[in-house]
Amino acid sequence: MRLKKCFIVLWLMLLVLSITGCGESDTDSKATDPTEKVSQEEIDRFNSYVQNIRGGTFLKEAKTSGDMAIINYGSYEDYIKLKPNTKITKDYYTTYWSTGDAINKAMMEEPIRLLREFPWLNKVDLTLPFEGVKYTVRIDRKTVENYLNVNLAEIHKDSTNEQWVNKIVNKYFNKEERSKYVQIFVTTS
C-alpha cells in the first residue's frame, strides 16, 4: 500500500511538472533571463562586435550590464580626448553623421542588430550626441519583435541569413521605415 501511495505521489508530481513546464528546456527564455550569467566569451564577443557597428569609431562607451547593452557615442570633443593623435577632423565627423540618415541608421539598425546577434540581450540603451542634440533610444527585445513582427532568436539561429534579409533588412532598413521607427522610439534632448 505504501508503495502505491509513493507511486501516486510521484505520478502527480510528474503531472504537475509537465503542466507547469518545470524541468523543460526553454533555450529562448533562458537565453534572455537577466539572472542568467553571460559567459566571458560572449562578453568578449560583444565587445569586439560593437567596435564594428555604424559609427563605431566614435564610440565613447560600449558595455553590457546584465541583459542590457549600453552604447554611448561621443561628441567630436569626446573622440579627440579618447584618440588625441587621430587624423579624423571635425569636418569629417560632422559629414559622417549629417550625410543621408546616418543618425537614424545608428538609432534603429544597430539596436536591432545587437538584439539579433546576442540572444541573451533584452534591452539596448543607445545615445548619440550631435550638434547640441542628444538622440536616445531605449528599446527592448519584445518591443522590437512586436514592431517588426519577428522572433529575433529564431532569426539568429538561421545560418543562411535569409530570414534576416527577407524579414528585416529588405522590409525595414530603408530611409522611410527608419524615419517612422525613429519618430516612435527615439527621443531628443
Q: What is the pLDDT of residues 16-32, one digit of tens each?
A: 334 434 433 343 434 44
Position 107 pLDDT exceeds 90 = yes
| Residue at 21 is within a domain | no
* Residue 131 lies in domain: 35-188
Could you give the CA distance from residue 165 to residue 187 in angstroms, rounded to a whole number? Answer: 27
Q: Which pLDDT score is estimated for 184?
A: 97
pLDDT of residue 99: 87
Indicate the number of domains in the chain: 1
Residue 20 lies in a domain: no
Is pLDDT at 186 greater than 60 in this prediction?
yes
Counting Cα atoms < 13 Å in the Cβ hemisphere of 140 gives 7
State the pLDDT at residue 1. 55
Q: Is residue 5 part of a domain?
A: no
Confidence of residue 117 (pLDDT cuts 50, 70, 90): very high
Residue of higher predicted confidence among 68 and 9: 68
Q: Which of 132, 124, 142 shows the shortest CA–CA distance to 186?
A: 124
Per-residue pLDDT reduced to its tens digit, 36-87? 688 999 999 999 999 999 999 999 999 999 999 999 999 999 999 999 999 9
166 is a domain residue = yes
Q: Which three cell numbers stand for residue 29?
A: 527564455
pLDDT value, residue 100: 80
On whether residue 22 sits in a domain, the answer given is no
pTM of the model: 0.79
Whether 175 has a pLDDT exceeding 60, the answer reads yes
Does 12 map to a domain?
no
Q: In percent, how much of the chain has pLDDT > 90?
A: 79
Residue type at 23 in one-letter notation: G
Residue 18 forms part of a structural domain: no
Does a structural domain hold residue 154? yes
Q: CA-to-CA distance for 11 and 179, rounded, in angstroms?
A: 56
Q: What is the mean pLDDT of residues 171-187?
A: 97
Rounded to the nearest integer, the mean pLDDT of the chain is 86
Whether residue 129 contacts residue 73, with contact meaning beta carbons closer than 8 Å, is answered with yes
SS3 state at 81: helix
pLDDT at 28: 42
Between 4 and 74, the higher pLDDT residue = 74
